[in-house]
Structure 1
Amino acid sequence: MTPKKPKKETRGDRLAEYRGKRDARRTPEPVPAEKAVPHGDDDTFVVQEHHATSLHWDLRLERDGVLVSWAVPKGLPWNPDANHLAVRTEDHPLEYATFEGEIPHGEYGAGKMTIWDRGTYETEKWSEREVKIVIHGSRVSGRYVLFKTRGKNWMIHRMDPPADPDAEPLPESLRPMRPVEKARLPRDQEAWGFEFAWGGRRMAAYVEGGRTRFTDGRGRAVDGPGGLGPRLGAELGVRPALLDGELAVLDGRETYMIYDLLHLDGHPLLDVPYRERRERLDGLDLSGPLWQTSPWFPGDGGAVLDAARDQGLPGVVAKRLDSPYEPGGESGAWRLVPS
């Protein structure tokens, strides 16, 4: 009988699982050859945004020579009213605290990894089932507790008051503002902004924690086109936003044309003038394979209407630069002028 080969000794090797999942010849991630050796002050934390199969954020805490790690699908909670799932993953080497890069396709965790926040933390309690910490970062700070629920599943809870006490959640549903139809452009064009009418299907997008849900022109929940929700959610990351637009066919492809921003980072923008909402929307630079920020042109409706006719579009929508957003009804502050 051929004797069995002895199993490789991994006792005390905190990074054995990490190394077993990675090929140092193929991944740009740090893959140290030696076992983890306790050093440092056990006070480094990093949150990495990981665009893998599904977008998530990795929380890593330095402890006894490794980075103890959790994958947090919706990011760290900003409010103590909401707990977020945190899935315990393998310990990572300390060098990972500075890692950013593209993990190749076919490798474990394939996708883009960027540092979302980093800093120091203090430990209030550390056990096998509960970890209490105080985080000091540039984007997130405060007291948090991680507690084990079942298997590798934990929850993370913010113990401090909300990071932004004035923040409000996204509305469950909002009926969009609609233009009235007019035969001619407004006379005082300098007081208006002009957009193309796309002739598409009205749809609002509620983006939060990297996920997206949609409502239609009557405020009813609907499914978006395949791939739009996750990819648009990944574009905005943890920033909560409510977008208004329509699903139009451009060059034979359905594209979500975004032309208003109604809620951002916990703050409703319904009372903010149209010009400022559009400037904030432009600042998000939302442009992707399935979505585009619709262009707008202040003060020159005639040229926009001529361009709409040349492109075979239904017309233009004139919007008063100083107008708030009025959900649920037609408003003279928005005018649809057919081509």
Structure 2
Amino acid sequence: MADKLERYRSKRDASRTPEPVPPSPPATGNGPGHEHAFVIQEHHARSLHWDLRLERDGVLVSWAVPKGLPGDPGTNHLAVHTEDHPMEYLTFHGEIPKGEYGGGTMTVWDTGTYETEKWSDREVKFVLHGERASGRFVLFRTRGKNWMIHRMDAAARDPFPQAEPMLPAERARPPKDTSAYAFEFAWGGRRLLVPIEGGRTTAAREHPWLRGLAESFGSRTAMLDGELATLKGAELLVFYDLLYDDGHSLVDRPYTVRRAALEALELGGGHWQTAPSWPGEAEPVRRAAREQGLPGIVAKRLDSAYEPGPSTSWLFVPS
């Protein structure tokens, strides 16, 4: 009988990688009453991807999915069929050394059981029962090692927004009811919406350094609003709003809710940060903007939704 892990072993040196490398062929069959297990691992290798592994006849049949599982039936994702992995890989996580096959950080993104509806050489239909991933999916072969994965049931997920930036109206003075507003610096830079999906962002085409930000989100979807500013001679992307978060649109939610969700992301890096915000403190913020040579401040109504285009819910006040 063929050793299903022969290809797996040929790619790995047990003395150089922490991955499980069992010395003997796996036992076949799942046994009576044995549930089929699955694992999805987030793999920060040369290129971020997710590894979907389904237990089948004593091994984990595996696919690398560059953008993760599709969130709705309207989008299919590429799934590259890879070598079978040993059952010990169900719980594997750690750092595969650089230079080794698959070098990079691997974490368990989700695990659980699944039901098989169909399994052939060209099509696999299954139902996942995990903590983060659940629902009916089908993997279908397209060409060579390339397959596609399609979600067969509807997910409770809002459409990804196609938004324009919300623009402040100009006023000579701050609003009288300062307690109804949060006050932020006007950075004098260029607005930039950053959509993130599958650990990638289209904004990286113009700004390649944003790839690191997108990858840090893993499988979490988001739409960030910010501004490219130049501070002390260095370009910095300051984020001050969040329009979409992990499958949910926030454009109709109050500014306070969006702001809390943005701060919970704890964004901070060499090229980006979350902009500070001060509820009710118009004059101290305006004075600080003037001292730092910034063009002014922006007053944002605490109860305001995100309105693409000009809006009087945001007010630009020159410093």
TM-score band (shorter)? over 0.9
Aligned counterpart, 1:185: 174
Letter in 2 for 1:149: T
Q: Which runs of 4+ in 1 moved over 4 A?
A: none
Cα separation, 2, equivalents of 1:271 and 1:242: 14
Aligned counterpart, 1:4: none
**Is 2:44 the partner of 1:62?**
no
Aligned-pair CA distance for 1:42: 6.0
The sequence identity of aligned pairs, in percent, is 62
Q: Root-mean-square deviation (CA), in Å?
A: 1.9
Aligned-pair CA distance for 1:113: 1.0
Q: How does 1:109-128 map to 2 (within 5 A)?
A: 109-128=102-121
**Is 2:273 the partner of 1:292?**
yes
Cα separation, 2, equivalents of 1:288 and 1:268: 25
**Is 2:162 the partner of 1:163?**
no
Aligned counterpart, 2:23: 33
Aligned-pair CA distance for 1:122: 1.4
Q: How does 1:10-159 map to 2 (within 5 A)?
A: 12-38=2-28, 40=30, 41=34, 43-159=36-152
Letter in 1 for 2:250: L
TM-score, normalization by structure 2: 0.92
Cα separation, 2, equivalents of 1:271 and 1:121: 36
Cα separation, 2, equivalents of 1:309 and 1:24: 62
Aligned-pair CA distance for 1:251: 4.3
Q: Which moved more, 1:304-313 or 1:89-98?
A: 304-313
Cα separation, 1, equivalents of 2:200 and 2:146: 20
Cα separation, 2, equivalents of 1:88 and 1:65: 17
Unaligned runs of 5+ in 2: none
Aligned counterpart, 1:335: 315
TM-score, normalization by structure 1: 0.87
Q: Which moved more, 1:136-145 or 1:179-188?
A: 179-188
Cα separation, 2, equivalents of 1:36 and 1:140: 27
Q: How does 1:195-234 map to 2 (within 5 A)?
A: 195-214=184-203, 223-228=205-210, 230-234=211-215
Is the Cα–Cα contact under 8 Å of residues 42 and 63 in structure 1 kept in the other structure? no
Closer, same or farther: CA 303–22 of 1 in aligned 2, 3 Å: farther
Aligned counterpart, 2:295: 314
Give the one of 147, 152, 175 matched to 2:164: 175
Aligned counterpart, 1:273: 254
Letter in 2 for 1:305: R
Unaligned runs of 5+ in 1: 1-10, 215-221
Aligned-pair CA distance for 1:23: 2.4
Q: Deviations over 1:184-228 (max 9, x none)?
A: 2222221110112222111111112222124xxxxxxx9431131
Letter in 2 for 1:85: L
User: How many residues matched?
Assistant: 316
